[in-house]
Amino acid sequence: MIRPPETSLPVHYVDEPELGFAFGQVTDHPKDGLHLYGPAERPDRPDLRVGVIGTASGIDYFRRWAAAASRAVRMPKRGPRDKANRLHLSDFPGLEEAFGLRLDPDTFTLREIDLQQVLGSINIENHHEAVSRTVDVFLRPIETHVAEEERSMDVWVLVVPEIVFETCRPKMAGRRKGELIPGKLAKKQGARSDLPLLSEIIDQSAESVFDDVPDFHRQVKARLLRLAQPSQLIRETTLAPHEFLNKAGKPSRGTQDPASVAWNLATGLFYKTQGTPPWRIAGMRPGVCYVGLVFKLIPNHPQHHACCAAQMFLSEGDGVVFRGANGPWRSEDKEFHLPRERAKALLSMVLETYKSRFQDYPRELFVHGRANFSDDEWAGFADAAPAGTSVVGIRIKSTHGETKVFREGDYPVLRGTALLLDPHNAYLWAAGYAPRIDTYLGPETPNPLFITTLRSTGELPDIRTVLSDVMGLTKINYNACNFSDAVPVTIRFADKVGDVLVMGSAAGTEKQPFKFYI
């Protein structure tokens, strides 16, 4: 770790990045921009074609939610103990008013599944088989529709019963209300060849079922990659919390207020169904591209091989995921590094995709990673870079309490505060008190990101420029309608993307839009 000098360190403040919306208008809060101006681009398909898969109750919950979200959804009345100003929360004005979208429940393509069939699947004793069969129940209607129907869906909504969410995850064991929970016999797996064989698995060979981690969400996303079908998974309890009460007559699960649920689901539906995201970073330098590196160990691989990928994000906010080769990329120091040819091949895919969209290569390509770049790896990135493109390597590490800054008053350090250690290293508080919403969205004193400019095929950029870029990338998480995140999107979703890519059923998906992964 770099030790700060004994003299005072310069403190820099990064202004809250602004976002672009319709009519060239800008504001720093997504909810304000959508409410006042609408999305950055008018939706290509305002009348959404939605397929809904769930039990009879689950389908009814989503139809009721869609009807309610077409109108204004108000925040609950504040109690006497609530803070007067909750500026990060707001009423939802309605799908069409905020996003220009229309959801007509009467036009939904409905595929009802039998709850008893679901229960029969999840109660199979072998956990891998149980999860695989449960996923089959939900995905078979999509596979049939894609194969037989001409009318395509903009998005498939899977309404997930709580029993599926609770049981179809790794390391579940025991019993619930007299029912067997999958995983009772599932111990830590050894090599694939050591696993037991099954006599019958639907649509999979006896051994291939073990190529996927027994996780419902990840298996759904991985298998839909191959069908190129965007999806939105929603728990029944999210849509209708008051239908699921505990003994005290309260909702059995704590959820967000209905207005916040509407904001977040509507944002995800817009992002997954339209050609452009609902908002973009305003004032971003032209010709800039950001790439987040993803490495994930392949479960149960006898040689501990890892999957690698690159997430490309543009100033417009949209993203693409490129799958690289699997291999022994983990070094003795437990960091991941690609050999020269693999690094070149991965970055070349990114560059060619950028050129196909903008008819030229980027002027600057920032590669964000959590570790240093090896000499061999960096040589591969440099080999891929055409003339006129500067490739810059940035390391972004989360800290865990080793560095704290305290501020007098009720709230912690300002979001956007940076402590400059030297020309190439800085601490950045991407989480902290935000005056715009008059609060800090966190449970404890925030930890900073440790950011380092490592290498460049040209000149290293000013650390202040890098910090500003990172702050901008904390505001383009389209999986929710939040004011900001504490981590840039290039790093935030690395583990989730990797979780999907290491699934055996995701094999062959070398290039897919980022929206398919979330």
Kindly write down the DSSP assignment for every residue of 161-216, as one continuous string. -HHHHHHSSTT--SEETTEEPTTTT------GGGSPP-S--TTS-TTGGGGS-S-H
For 171-182, how does the pLDDT look when each residue is reduced to its tens digit (9 = 90+)? 764 434 435 554
CA distances for 242 relative to 61, 252, 254, angstroms:
11, 8, 10
Residue pair 293/367 in contact (Cβ under 8 Å)? The answer is yes
CB-neighbour burial class of residue 157 (10 A; exposed 0-12, middle 13-18, buried 19+): buried
**Does 3.30.70.141 match the CATH number of domain 283-401+451-516?**
no
Q: Rounded to the nearest 10 degrees, how much is the dihedral formed by the CA atoms of 463, 5, 372, 288? A: 0
Residues of the chain with CATH 3.30.420.10: 283-401+451-516
Q: How far is CA 263 from the centre of its chain?
A: 16
* Sequence letter at residue 241: P
Nearest to 25, CA basis, from 263, 271, 274, 282: 282
Per-residue pLDDT of the chain (518 residues; tens, 9 = 90+): 555 555 678 999 999 999 999 999 999 999 999 999 999 999 998 999 999 999 999 999 999 999 999 999 998 877 655 655 677 889 999 999 999 999 999 999 999 999 999 999 999 999 999 999 999 999 999 999 999 999 999 999 999 999 999 999 987 644 344 355 544 434 333 334 333 333 333 344 455 667 788 999 999 999 999 999 999 999 999 999 999 999 999 999 999 999 999 999 999 999 999 999 999 999 888 899 999 999 999 987 888 899 999 999 987 767 999 999 899 999 888 899 999 999 999 999 999 999 999 999 999 999 999 999 999 999 999 999 999 999 999 999 999 877 888 877 778 999 999 999 999 999 999 999 999 998 988 888 999 999 999 999 999 999 999 999 999 999 999 999 999 999 999 999 998 999 999 888 887 778 999 999 98
Q: What is the pLDDT of residues 85-94, one digit of tens each?
A: 677 889 999 9
How far is 224 from 341, CA to CA, in rounded Å?
Answer: 30
Tokens of 383: 């080999």
495, 51, 489, 99: which is closest to 230 by C-alpha? 51
DSSP string, 85-144: --TT---B--HHHHH--B--GGG-EEEE--HHHHHHHHT-SSHHHHHHHHHHHHHHHHHH
Q: 418: which residues sit within 8 A by CB, 6+ positions away?
A: 11, 12, 13, 14, 426, 427, 428, 429, 464, 467
Tokens 């972004």, residue located: 396
SS3 11: strand
Cα-Cα-Cα-Cα torsion 448, 449, 452, 456, nearest 10 degrees, comes to: -140
The pair of structure tokens assigned to 116 is: 């008893």
Question: Residue 178 is encoded by which pair of tokens?
Answer: 């007299």
d(CA 147, CA 145): 5
Angle at alpha carbon of residue 346, lines to 352 and 494, rounded to 5°: 110
Is residue 9 within 8 A of residue 421, CB to CB? The reply is yes
The residues, any chain, with a CB within 8 Å of residue 390's CB and separated by 6 or more, are 363, 364, 365, 456, 457, 458, 459
Report CA-CA distances (Å) from 109 to 54, 56, 234, 267: 11, 13, 17, 21
The total of other beta-carbon atoms located within 10 Å of residue 331's CB is 11
What's this model's pTM, rounded to 2 decimal places?
0.90
H-run or E-run covering 364: strand 364-369
Q: Please give the Cα distance from 127 to 244 (Å, whole number).
A: 26
Sign for the pseudo-dihedral over CA of 407, 411, 414, 419: positive
Question: In this predicted model, what pLDDT tens digit does every residue of 208-250 receive, in sequence order?
Answer: 667 788 999 999 999 999 999 999 999 999 999 999 999 999 9
